[in-house]
Structures are given as structure tokens and as C-alpha cells.
Structure 1
Amino acid sequence: MAVTANAIWGRTEQQDFRSRVRGTLLGAAVGDALGAPLDGLSLTEIQEAYGAEGLTDLAPAYGRRGAVTQLTQLSLFSVDGLIRAQVRRDTGAWHPPTDLHRAYLRWAATQRDWGPDERRKDDGWLAREEWLYARRSPARACLTGLGDDTMGTPTAPKNPGEAGPEAAARSAPFGLLVGWEPQLVLQLAMECAAQTHGHPTAYFTAGAYAVVVHALARGETLDTGVQRALALLAPQPGQQPVSDALQHALGAVRQGMPTPARIEELAGSGTAEGVLAVAVYCALVGEDMRHGLCLAVNHGGPSGAAGALTGGLLGALHGETALPPAWLAELEGRPTMLVVADDFAMEMTQGAALHGPTGSAPGWLARYPRA
């Protein structure tokens, strides 16, 4: 897999990129946390519990406000895998899907083990974060897809009938590979989605979402990102439901004020492409991040996934300063997320100063081992 060379990064460009990386990861996590209490509820049940406007603030889930789910856990391991892929490239081994698969297997271990195993030195620092060992309703497809060492691919996927949105919800980090061509971002996100969600709708949705985030992380508009995703999807057999969902989202913007009924109609049965349509629509019509996220989660579909996808888009578009401070203050795991985001930004902009053929920083390799 070839990639284009990164541009020379000036200080201003580095600061902007770091803000967008933080915004993407924290935005997705905030959306996940906002939607988590609503998963499994119908719109009527949501309105009965939270009022006619639905949920407008963080509410308790898993025993606390601001709790995140497996969606955020896996997104963090996506970032970990991408950094490890860059570090391993020094050895001549360059196959990012394999490094992402190993990262996802490290997440799977957190769902089986009581806590970190200090004997596994090659796990790196993220797998030693004790809060990540909480089981937060992990999707069955993620557990079964990562239940052994065999890696699924688009030609031989795991769970070929699984069309849920969970793979797309961990795919925002692929869009942050701003030095890559969009076609390669699409390909990598699809390959990694097929490790757990083997239905074409699921992995094409993951790829399309990553391409849209990629455009936003490069400073382009949301419409530009959607049009690029549509163009890249067009020649792919089996992608039509995803393209139709994206076109449906764009068309819904012109149909008047957003309503829960319109969002439920976009979400459809709650499979990946419908949740992507909800996220694109809410990111386009939301007055700000808070409004966009509240629109995204108040429906009878997968609220956490819709919130995560929407938050990732808005965070990549506006950067970290657009995130609601009161929600960030209560977000579970925020210190870890900030470190992951900053490590990723540093690797992508200054990786040559951290590791390479002529020498490497021991502390960096301890955090992200090559093995």
C-alpha cells in the first residue's frame, strides 16, 4: 500500500491539525456519551423520559454521566494501530490493516481480562489504561470478529451478514491520515471494517465516512467530502445503498426544519448507511455542535453510533474549541483521549524526529513498540 509523502508542516499547520485531531476524537466520544443512555429506546420512550425535545444534556449511562461505549474504546485503538503502523514501517514491514487488526485484538483482550497484564510489554501504553477494561455493551460482531487471530478482509470478511454501524463509528481516525490520497483512506477503512463487519454496506459506509472526515481534516467543506466519497464509491460493486443514503441526506437538507421524524426516516432500520445519513444530515443542519449532536441522538435507532459519527464530523470540521466545555468536563477518559490525539498528531507531523533508520526515541518505542 503506497501513500503520498507528507507535506512540510509549519507551526500554524501543526496547531490546526492537532486541533482537528482532538476535535475528531473528542467530538466522536462526546456524541457516543450523549447517545449512550438512549440506545434501545424508541422516540416515544425518549420523549417520555426526557421531555418533548428529547435528551439535551448528558445523562447517566453505565453508572455515570459522560460514560463512553465500545465505539470510543475501539476508536482509540484505531489510533493506536495507526501510530504502530508508522513505527513498524521502519522495519520494512508495511501493512496497516495488520497493525490495525493487532490493535483491535488488544481491545478484544480488554473485554476478556480483568485488567492490564504487565507481562505483555509489547501491548504498549494504551492497553494498560485500566478504564478501558470496562465492558460497555460490545457489539457481538466485534467480539466474534476479533475472537481469533484470523483477520477478515473485504474478499474474505468476518461476519459477512453484519451491516451494523459499529465499524464506521471507529473509522474517523483513518480520515485523519491527511498525507494519504482519499482513495487509500477509503481502502484502508474498508479493509479494517471487514475485520468485524463483513456486509458490503457496513464496510463501504466505513470507507465513505473516513473519506468525508479526511476532507474536513484537510480544511475542506462537508459537501466537498460527501461528493468525493460518492465519486470514489461509484465504481465499486455493491456500494449503491451507501451512495443512496448520502444522497438522501443531502436532499433532506432542502426539506425544511429538522425534525425527529425526518431523522428517524434517514436512519431507517439502523444499519450503517442509515446512521451515516443521519450524521451527515445533522452535521449539515446543526446550528452548532451541541445542536447537531442533540439532533443526531434523539431517535429510535442506534443513538450512540449516530452521535459518534456526527461528533467526529463536526470535530474534524471545527476543531476542539467547538466542543461544549461542560460536556468535555464530564467525559470519561478525556485525559487518555487527549494524549492519544496529541501522540497521533505528533507522529503524523514529526514522526521522522521520533523514529527512523538513523535512530529512535526510546520513550516513543516504549509507548508504541515495533513488535
Structure 2
Amino acid sequence: MRKTKVYYRGCLIGGAIGDALGWPVEFMSLEEIKSKYGNRGISSLVIGRRGRAEVTDDTQMTLFTAEGLLRGETRGYNKGVSETGKCVYNAYLRWLYTQGDPADDTLNIYDGYLIKQKELYVKRAPGMTCLTALRNREMGTVDNPLNDSKGCGCVMRVAPVGLFYRPQFAFNKGMECSAITHGHIIGHLSAGAFAYIIASIMSGMDIAHSVEDTLIELSKYYNSEEMVDLLKKAINLSMGKKSNEVCIKELGQGWIAEEAIAIAVFCALRYKDDFEGAIMAAVNHSGDSDSTGAMTGNIVGAHLGLNKIPRKWTSKLELYDVITKVADDLLTGYSDDGDWWMKYPGY
């Protein structure tokens, strides 16, 4: 079992580091990356104007997902009605507010811990599907989708679901969180699968067995065949001798959900005991480098724990204290000590 701070922090900090490493090269081709950073590609965090390596909407929305989960469970205890999906949706509206959109005066939701963190009030190329869906002020669900999008914005934010729920619940909760803004079933399944992988790792499995169990769970769902095949391809490529660049190109660019999770699974399996190697592989390609970096960091960070993430990266990371606090709160929320909701009234 990995129900300790070091692994919860490892998951969220690992994701943030992958996000920060990939952010400067997100819209660059591999050739452009190598031209600017050398043949190995980008390998060091770029320090921004605030003196820290910057994270993007991937980390921001991951934090707000966690806040929504915590509020949902708090509401369930205090009022007897959970409505976790609605609470995550409201958390995403608070994220939208940090992106410069006006508050909706008809909603009494603009409070809590994260909305007070000024470092979150910055736009780092947020996904248009997330922005558009939330601006419409309508919450999507699996049964009532808002659109037909399966952009990776629906999957890069759901690692907290895997930290908060046991595997048997994480898949469906991941799908629910995805459907709030993205309507395509493959996006929902990708988010469910990613949450399931994280939850399985936290239950004590290694990465390989977590992915294998996820494939079994995924195969129970209608229209999952193409995604199952892509993940199996990622597994096979991770065990082969082809270069990272060639393998990732075969899996896609990561702009859509199933490609993003496939790339993350490939990198995490190939470098399961090497956080630095996994992250570097995940961001140095011609695609959505910050999202594939973030998801890879979530997986390998959950597996290895914070202590195995290089200090040269954690010491430079934006929002480090906020991320670790949220990770700790997710851990406390998972426990059965009976009083966690009293400790975090800000949620």
C-alpha cells in the first residue's frame, strides 16, 4: 500500500514537474526542440519571470479537481448529499475565474483555499474546450454530453481521482470528471483508465500490473476496443528496442485523450524506476508535451514517491507548497480516521 504522504506528494508534484518541463516546448516540433536545447532535447526546468519553473492549466485544473473532490465528500458528511460531480464542476468554475473570466453572481461558490492563491491567477494556454464548456454554464455528464471533444484536457486533470478513490470506484469517477467539459466517450474512458491506473498504484501494485488491470476494466466498456489496442501497443513498444522518439510518434502526439494516456503509459513503463528518464521521454516529442509530461509524472511519481524525484527540480517548482498541501489533504480524506472534514473547512 502507498497511502503515505511521500507517494501522494510524489504523484501531484511529479505531474507538476512534467507539466513545467514540457510547457516551454508544448508547441514546438521535435526538430525545433533539439535545435534550441540540444540533441537530448529539453532536460532542465526553465525558470520563469517569478523565479520558479512555471506550471500550466494541467496542474491548475488538477488542483481544482482535488478541491472539488474534497468539497464533495465534505458536503456528503455534513449534509448527507455528496454530489461530487457538481462540486468538481463548481471547482472548475473557480478555476475559470482565475483565468480572468468574471464571477457568476448567481452562484455562491467563489471561496475556499485555492481561489486565495494568487499564483493560480495566470493563463498558460488553457484548453479551448474547457474554457468554452465552462463559459456556457452547463455541466456535462456521461449521459448528457456537451460536445464531441476528446481533447487531452479531459484526462490530464484526473490524477486526484485515483488518489482519492479505491480502484473499483476511480474509473467511473474519472469518467464523470471528464464529462463535465468533454463529451466524447473515448475521452471519458481515457480519464477513467488514467484514474484507475493511479488508484491501482496507490493500492500497492507496480505500474505494469496497474496497466494490465486497467485494460481488463476498460474492456468492460462499450466502444473501448480501439483504446485497448492503443494501450497494448504502448506496452509492447515499452519493451522493445525502438527509440523513444520513434515509439511516441507511433502512438500519436498527445493532443487527444487516448494518445496522451498511451504516451504516458509507454514512458512510465519504459522508465518505471527512473523519474528523470520518464519525464524527459514524455516531453521531447512533436506534440502536447506538457500534458504527456504531467501524466507521466503523475504515474511515476505515484510509483516512486517524492523522495525519488530529483531535488534540483522540486526546489524550483512553482506552487510547490500549495500542491503538497492539496496532496496531503487528499490523503487525509482517504483515511478512515473520522475527522478529516473538520481539519479542512476551507474546502
* TM-score normalized with structure 1 length: 0.87
The alignment partner of 2:161 has SS state of: helix
Instruction: State the partner residue of 2:119.
Output: 131
Please say if 1:300 is aligned against 2:280: no
The alignment partner of 1:253 has SS state of: helix
Instruction: State the partner residue of 2:338.
Output: 352
Cα offset for 1:254?
Answer: 2.6
Question: Gaps (5+ residues) in structure 2?
Answer: none
Name the CA distance, whole Å, in 2 between partners of 1:269 and 1:74: 18
Instruction: Map 1:127-276 onto structure 2 (within 5 A).
Output: 127-160=115-148, 162-178=149-165, 180=166, 182-268=167-253, 270-276=255-261
Name the CA distance, whole Å, in 2 between partners of 1:335 and 1:120: 27
Letter in 2 for 1:23: G
Instruction: State the partner residue of 1:325.
Output: 311
Is the contact between residue 81 and residue 99 of structure 1 (CA under 8 Å) also seen in structure 2? yes
Name the CA distance, whole Å, in 2 between partners of 1:55 and 1:364: 38
Name the CA distance, whole Å, in 1 between partners of 2:168 and 2:95: 27
Question: RMSD value over aligned CA atoms?
Answer: 2.2
Letter in 1 for 2:15: A
The alignment partner of 1:256 has SS state of: coil
Please say if 1:290 is aligned against 2:276: yes
Task: State the 4+ residue runs in structure 1 displaced beyond 4 angstroms.
Answer: 60-65, 119-122
Is the contact between residue 24 and residue 313 of structure 1 (CA under 8 Å) also seen in structure 2? yes
Letter in 2 for 1:319: G
- Call closer, same or farther: CA 1:268–1:346 in 2, change over 3 Å: closer
Cα offset for 1:249?
Answer: 0.6
Counterpart selection for 2:34 from 34, 42, 47:
47
Name the CA distance, whole Å, in 2 between partners of 1:64 and 1:145: 33
- Call closer, same or farther: CA 1:269–1:125 in 2, change over 3 Å: closer
Name the CA distance, whole Å, in 2 between partners of 1:79 and 1:347: 10
Instruction: State the partner residue of 1:336.
Output: 322
Is the contact between residue 245 and residue 276 of structure 1 (CA under 8 Å) also seen in structure 2? no
Letter in 2 for 1:364: Y
- Call closer, same or farther: CA 1:269–1:210 in 2, change over 3 Å: closer
Name the CA distance, whole Å, in 1 between partners of 2:220 and 2:150: 20
Letter in 2 for 1:148: N
Question: Gaps (5+ residues) in structure 1?
Answer: 1-12, 356-360
- Call closer, same or farther: CA 1:353–1:272 in 2, change over 3 Å: same
How many corresponding residue pairs?
343
* TM-score normalized with structure 2 length: 0.93
**Amino-acid identity (%):** 34
Instruction: State the partner residue of 1:31.
Output: 18
Is the contact between residue 90 and residue 109 of structure 2 (CA under 8 Å) also seen in structure 1? no
Cα offset for 1:268?
Answer: 4.6
Name the CA distance, whole Å, in 2 between partners of 1:113 and 1:272: 26
